[in-house]
Structure 1
């Protein structure tokens, strides 16, 4: 193990699952709670 593992490459931006909805990352949780209320804002409030 003399060679250090390469740094994780930046993942590409999540493709929009549906128009007007949160990115795929938020869809996992926010779609069930409030897909159109702004998932990002909800996360900041919590």
Structure 2
């Protein structure tokens, strides 16, 4: 996990990664930046 690669991926305009791949690669870093995710009631239940 490199902050340089994280920033590069976040700022890309083309060839964006799917959110699942992004979370697989940078899960810890994303959680440090955004400690909670808002989820729909259907997802939580």
Superposition TM-score, scaled by structure 2 size: 0.20
The higher radius of gyration belongs to: 1
* Higher relative contact order (Cα pairs below 8 Å, separated by 6+ residues): 2
Structure having the higher helix fraction is 2
